[in-house]
Amino acid sequence: MTGRSAADIIVEGRVQGVGYRDFAQRRAQRLGLAGYVSNLKDGRVRARAEGPRALIEEFVRELEKGPPLSQVAHVTVQWMPPTDQFADFGIRYTEFEP
């Protein structure tokens, strides 16, 4: 797969306190994506993913399902150019944004 892309992904629903960030990290690492996932203070989860667009699209489909205890209500994807600033895919525990 050629051509790198990036996406800022916002997941709404019951997605905090249910292992969602761990789920997202495992899926992204399996797909070879770079970026991060973090909780937002309003109860949503934000993921930033960089890699081939087709793999990011597959990642988004996985995020729409979520782990067993989650209840995903809505996923928003904003496509953007990659920054190439991420070496791997991690969990950010301290990033809270409005």
What tokens does 81 get?
A: 């150019």
Contact 35, 29 (CB under 8 A): no
| Residue positions annotated with a catalytic role | 21, 39
Q: Which residue has the tokens 């997941």?
A: 11
